[in-house]
């Protein structure tokens, strides 16, 4: 067995070796964070015993392999000390000590007797640092360029007497590397592997590489954590905006429906009772758990109740409904309350001024993995100067357009064609969704 050390002076060979070492750490971090299970384990504070075991399983195996690679001739691959420190910093004292001991086993079997004590001590040291940091969020602030702010942070420490917790892991990494080199010299290179710097500049690079090997994975994982938090916040914002938009529709719709009931009570109490039954069906849906998507079949059933109310109000001779529905489209999912604002807009602004002979055509069809929905009336139409602003004004059409934009992004199309005196056609095209979708509660 030869000496377990690599003697290097300041030069290209040392720089190349240290860059490779940091690159191995970064690649391993990037590979692990692709796993959703690893992300859940990594970003959970206050881990249970099971999650701590999972964290050990995720990290100790690849880190032990890195030690084995060093034993077969790749010194840049050894991440024993840095990996043990990472485990302690992220998982605590117990995880750090156990992880360090497991990672060091290949070196111990190679008769490097100080490997296990050194790795376990690194994990324990990092775990104590984690315990000392009052706000665990500060652990994620340890980045690869933190050393550039050392003078400013020291000045803040002196001037305001504010602890600079971010400097604690950085200082600990430097101390641990100096301790490894010292132990390596004590064992004369036989009991512990280390990079032997032959001059002060080489020593500085070795210490810097150790700091970077710990800081780069934390930076990679923190960036992913921030992206996940942003995505979660965007989902919450989307839900809040959807709820706000839906709340615009419901009072508007109910107000008009109650006016219909009020007008019927005066001259046709029996019809008013029928309308109230239809209204109760509508209220039952509105008051139950809010759904973002519903099957088209359910949306059309809702529209039927609404149209029955409007037919009762205007009379069958003044409002005729024609539906051309392709059977295969009924199981497609569409945004809840998609059609009601459009149909209401057709009746209120298109057909009501005609007083008689009003027709609404509702068509659905499937075309090239897209669902196409059309609502067409033969009403008074929309003036050309108002048509271009319709999707951005009012409650009904603008609400539908905004909800479609929120849910589908650029994947939807909404076209409005109108001819004054001849009617209006609204055509909506959305991606085909036929499987069960999660609902927003």
The yes-or-no verdict on residue 272 having pLDDT over 60 is yes
pLDDT at residue 278 above 90?
A: no
pLDDT: is 273 or 373 the higher one?
373
The predicted model gives 344-363 an average pLDDT of 80
pLDDT band (50, 70, 90) for residue 242: low
pLDDT for 25 equals 94
Model confidence at 177, in pLDDT bands (50, 70, 90)? very high
- Mean pLDDT for the stretch of residues 223-252: 68
Indicate whether 438 pLDDT > 50.
no
The percent of residues above 70 in pLDDT, for the chain, comes to 83
pLDDT value at residue 31: 94
Q: Which residue has the higher pLDDT, 373 or 294?
A: 373
* The pLDDT of residue 150: 67
Considering only residues 424 and 148, tell me which one the structure prediction assigns the higher pLDDT: 424
pLDDT over threshold 70, residue 89: yes
pLDDT value, residue 440: 40
CA 205 to CA 208: how far, in whole Å? 5
- Highest average pLDDT, of 35-49, 76-90, 218-232, 252-266, comes from 76-90
Task: Indicate if the pLDDT at residue 238 is higher than 70.
Answer: no
pLDDT at site 246: 59
What is the arithmetic mean of pLDDT over 46-72?
Answer: 92
What residues pair up with 426 in beta bridges, in sequence order?
A: 375, 416
What's the pLDDT score for residue 118?
A: 94
For residue 336, pLDDT beyond 70: yes
User: Is residue 214 very low, low, confident or very high in pLDDT (cuts 50, 70, 90)?
Assistant: very high
* Mean of pLDDT values over 309-328: 82
User: What per-residue confidence (pLDDT) applies to 244?
Assistant: 53
pLDDT tier at 307 (50, 70, 90 boundaries)? confident
The residue among 432 and 313 whose pLDDT is bigger is 432
pLDDT above 90: percentage of residues in the chain: 38
Q: Is the pTM of this model over 0.85?
A: no
Q: Which one is predicted more confidently, 159 or 298?
A: 298
Give the separation between CA 173 and CA 200, rounded to whole angstroms. 18
Which of 155-164, 365-374, 428-437 is predicted most confidently?
365-374
Q: How confident is the model at residue 288 (pLDDT cuts 50, 70, 90)?
A: low
- CB crowding 16-50: b at 16 or more within 10 Å, else e: ebbeebbebbbebbeebbeeeebbebbbeeebeee
> Which pLDDT band holds residue 365 (cuts at 50, 70, 90)?
very high
* pLDDT tens digits, one per residue of 76-86: 999 999 999 99
Position 2 pLDDT exceeds 50: no
In the numeric block, which tokens belong to residue 241? 């905006």
Residue 76 to residues 14, 48, 85, 193, 196, Cα–Cα distance (Å): 10, 34, 17, 11, 13
Domain range annotation of the chain: 5-232, 268-431
Residue 235 has pLDDT above 50, yes or no: yes
Model pLDDT, residue 441: 39
328 contacts: CB under 8 Å, gap ≥ 6: 366
Q: What is the CATH number of domain 268-431?
A: 3.30.565.10
Residue 143 pLDDT greater than 90, yes or no: no
Rounded Cα distance between 266 and 121, Å, is 87
Parallel, antiparallel, or unpaired: how do β-strands 319-325 and 358-367 relate? parallel
pLDDT of residue 355: 59
DSSP 3-state of 441: coil
How many whole angstroms separate alpha carbon 334 and alpha carbon 338?
7
């Amino acid at each position: 067995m030869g000496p377990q050390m690599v003697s290097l002076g300041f030069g290209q060979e040392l720089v190349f070796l240290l860059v490779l070492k940091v690159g191995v750490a970064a690649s391993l971090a990037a590979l692990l964070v692709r796993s959703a299970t690893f992300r859940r384990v990594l970003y959970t504070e206050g881990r249970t015993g099971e999650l701590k075991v999972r964290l050990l399983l995720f990290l100790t195996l690849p880190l032990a392999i890195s030690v084995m690679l060093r034993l077969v001739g790749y010194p840049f691959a050894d991440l024993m000390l840095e990996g043990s420190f990472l485990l302690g910093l992220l998982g605590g004292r117990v995880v750090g000590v156990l992880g360090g001991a497991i990672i060091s086993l290949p070196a111990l079997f190679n008769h490097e007797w100080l490997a296990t004590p050194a790795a376990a001590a690194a994990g324990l040291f990092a775990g104590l640092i984690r315990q000392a940091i009052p706000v665990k969020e500060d652990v994620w602030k340890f980045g690869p360029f933190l050393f550039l702010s050392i003078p400013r942070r020291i000045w803040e420490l002196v001037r305001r007497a504010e602890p600079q917790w971010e400097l604690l892991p950085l200082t600990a990494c430097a101390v641990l590397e100096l301790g490894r080199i010292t132990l390596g010299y004590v064992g004369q290179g036989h009991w512990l592997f280390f990079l032997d710097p032959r001059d002060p500049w080489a020593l500085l690079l070795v210490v810097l590489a150790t700091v970077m090997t710990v800081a780069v994975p934390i930076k990679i994982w923190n960036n992913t954590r921030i992206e996940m938090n942003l995505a979660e916040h965007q989902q919450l914002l989307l839900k809040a905006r959807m709820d706000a938009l839906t709340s615009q529709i419901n009072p508007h719709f109910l107000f008009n429906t109650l006016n219909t009931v009020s007008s019927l009570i005066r001259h046709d109490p029996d019809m008013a009772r029928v309308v109230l039954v239809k209204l109760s069906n509508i209220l039952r849906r509105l008051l139950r758990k809010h759904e973002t998507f519903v099957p088209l079949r359910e949306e059309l059933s809702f529209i039927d109740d609404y149209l029955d109310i409007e037919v009762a109000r205007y009379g069958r001779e003044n409002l005729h409904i024609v539906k051309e529905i392709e059977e295969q489209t009924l199981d497609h999912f569409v945004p809840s309350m998609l059609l009601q604002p459009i149909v209401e807009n057709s009746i209120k602004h298109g057909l009501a001024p005609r007083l008689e002979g009003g027709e609404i055509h509702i068509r659905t069809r499937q075309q090239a993995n897209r669902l196409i929905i059309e609502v067409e009336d033969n009403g008074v139409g929309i003036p050309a100067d108002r048509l271009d602003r319709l999707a951005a004004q009012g409650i009904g059409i603008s609400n539908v357009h905004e909800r479609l934009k929120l849910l589908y992004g650029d994947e939807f199309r909404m076209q409005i064609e109108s001819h004054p005196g001849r009617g209006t056609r609204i055509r909506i095209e959305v991606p085909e969704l036929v499987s069960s979708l999660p609902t927003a509660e």
